[in-house]
Amino acid sequence: MDPNLHIKQAVNHLNRILQYYPFVQEGEEAVVALTPEDWWVVSDMLFHMPGAEAFVPEAIESFRMSEDGEAIELRTVDCLIRVERA
């Protein structure tokens, strides 16, 4: 599967999250906000595009939608990153 523009944008957002979260990390957790549009791009890639998970950056060990459906949770080796809509 070749990445389309939607996937490329989502990967770019994920990489930016990975670069930013250490600045807001508290213990083993961090909260990062994306614009609603950017949040939906990432959400679409992770949860609605079969095969797109192959493009998730390696630093992300796992991901899921939060219990309340309001955030995407990304797990790295040292942190649980909660990605919320700004």
CATH number for the domain harbouring residue 64? 3.30.460
List pLDDT tens digits, range 62-85: 999 999 999 999 999 999 999 999
Task: Please count the structural domains in the chain.
Answer: 1
Task: Classify residue 71 by its DSSP letter.
Answer: E
Domain that holds residue 64: 5-85
Sign of CA dihedral 30, 35, 40, 46: negative
- Which pTM was predicted? 0.94
Strands of 29-34's sheet, edge to edge? 29-34, 80-85, 71-75, 62-65
What is the share, in percent, of the chain residues with pLDDT greater than 90? 92
Average pLDDT over residues 47-60: 94
Confidence of residue 3 (pLDDT cuts 50, 70, 90): confident
